Amino acid sequence: MPSESFTSRDGMSLPYPSPYQIPDEPLVTIQPGKSWVPVNLRELWTYRELLFFLIWRDIKVRYKQTLIGAAWALLQPLLLMLIFTFFFSRLAGVKSAGAPYPIFAYAGLLPWTFFANAVTNSGNSLIGNTNLITKVYFPRVLIPVAAVAASLVDFGIASILLVVLMIYYRTGLHAEVVMLPVLVALVTLLASGVGIWLAALNVKYRDVRYALPFLIQIWLFASPVIYAVPDRWRWLLALNPMTAIIEGFRSALFGLPFDWLMLGVSASITLFILAYAAFAFARMERSFADVI
C-alpha cells in the first residue's frame, strides 16, 4: 500500500490531503440577491469592460458581410421620410407645424427609429446569447443594455442626414438645441427599460419575439412621428412617453417652446418603466439558465 504521508522539504512527515475531506468553512457562498435591490451597481461597474466588449461585438456583427455597411442606418429613416412625405404631406395634406414636411418627419423619425431598433434588438438579445448565458456568470442585464447602447451608433450616423436637411432648408440653430442631449438620454433610458423588460419576458414566453414587431408598428402610429399633436388629444397622447420626446426634438431643432408638463410626465413614466423593468428582470433572471 502506498504511504499515507509524505516528507516535506523541512523533513517533516505530513499526511496526504484526502480528496473527500470537507473544509470547515465554505470556500464560496452563493446567496440570492435581495429583492428590493434589483441592480447591483458595484457589480455592473466591475463588469464594465464586458459591457464595452458586448457593445463593440453587436456593432461588428450588425454590419458584417453587408454591401453598404453602416449606411443602412441612414437608409432606413431616409426611405421612411420619402414615403411619409409623399403619402401624408402630398396626398393627405398632413400639417407640419409650419416646418417643411421632410425635415418635420425626419426630426420625428430620428428618435423613433433609434427607439424602435433599440427595443427590438434589446428584446431579442438574451435569446441570441444563449450559449453565453448558460456557460459563464455575469450580470445578465448587460446584454440588453449593450444592445441599446450599440443602437446609439446608428443614431449618430442617421443624425448626419438631419444636419444636411437643416442646411438644405436653411433651418438655423436655436438656443433650445441644448436640450438635445437631455432628450437623447431620456429616449435611451426609455428604450433600455422597455428592452430589458421584453428581453426577460422573451426568455419565458417566446411569443414575445413574434408580437414585438406588431407592438412597434402600433406604437409608431400612436406617436406623433408623421403628424403634429392635435390639441384636443394632447392629454391622451401625453401618456405615451415618446410623444414628449419627439415633440421635444422638434422644439429643440426648430426653436419652438417646450411643453414642460408633457416632458415631466414622459420622464416620470420613463423612470417608472425603467425601475419596474429592473425589478422584473431581477426576479426572472434566477431561472434564465434553466429555461433559455
Digit-coded pLDDT (tens) for 22-46: 666 655 555 555 545 566 778 888 8
Residues with Cβ within 8 Å of residue 24, at least 6 apart in sequence: none
- Which residue did the predictor score with more confidence, 63 or 1? 63
Residue 53 corresponds to which amino acid? F
Say whether pLDDT at 93 is over 80. Answer: no
Mean per-residue pLDDT for 247-265? 92
How many other CB atoms are found less than 10 A from the CB of residue 239? 12
Residues with Cβ within 8 Å of residue 45, at least 6 apart in sequence: none
Asked if 50 and 141 touch (Cβ cutoff 8 Å), the reply is no
Say whether pLDDT at 147 is over 60. Answer: yes
pLDDT of res. 67: 65
Residue 198 corresponds to which amino acid? L
Say whether pLDDT at 144 is over 60. Answer: yes
pLDDT tier for residue 12 given thresholds of 50, 70 and 90? low
pLDDT of res. 199: 93
**For every residue of the chain, which 3-state class applies, written as one string?**
CCCCEEECCCCCEEECCCCCCCCCCCCCCCCCCCCCCCCCHHHHHHCHHHHHHHHHHHHHHHCCCCCCHHHHHHHHHHHHHHHHHHHHHHHCCCCCCCCCHHHHHHHHHHHHHHHHHHHHHHHCCCHHHHHHHHHCCCCCCHHHHHHHHHHHHHHHHHHHHHHHHHHHCCCCCCHHHHHHHHHHHHHHHHHHHHHHHHHHHHHHCCHHHHHHHHHHHHHHHCCCCCCCCCHHHHHHHCCCHHHHHHHHHHHHHHCCCCCHHHHHHHHHHHHHHHHHHHHHHHHHHHHHHHHC
- Which residue did the predictor score with more confidence, 235 or 115? 115
Question: CA torsion sign, 240 to 244 to 247 to 249?
Answer: negative
Over residues 212-221, the pLDDT tens digits come to 999 999 999 9
Mean per-residue pLDDT for 181-202? 95
pLDDT tier for residue 62 given thresholds of 50, 70 and 90? confident
Say whether pLDDT at 53 is over 70. Answer: yes
pLDDT of res. 209: 87
Say whether pLDDT at 229 is over 70. Answer: yes
Q: Which of 201, 227, 229 lies closest to 215 in space, CA to CA?
A: 201
- Domain coordinates of the chain in residue numbers? 39-291
Q: Which of 211, 272, 221, 271 lies closest to 246 in space, CA to CA?
A: 221
Say whether pLDDT at 74 is over 80. Answer: yes
pTM for this one?
0.83
Say whether pLDDT at 20 is over 80. Answer: no
Whole-number average pLDDT of the chain: 84
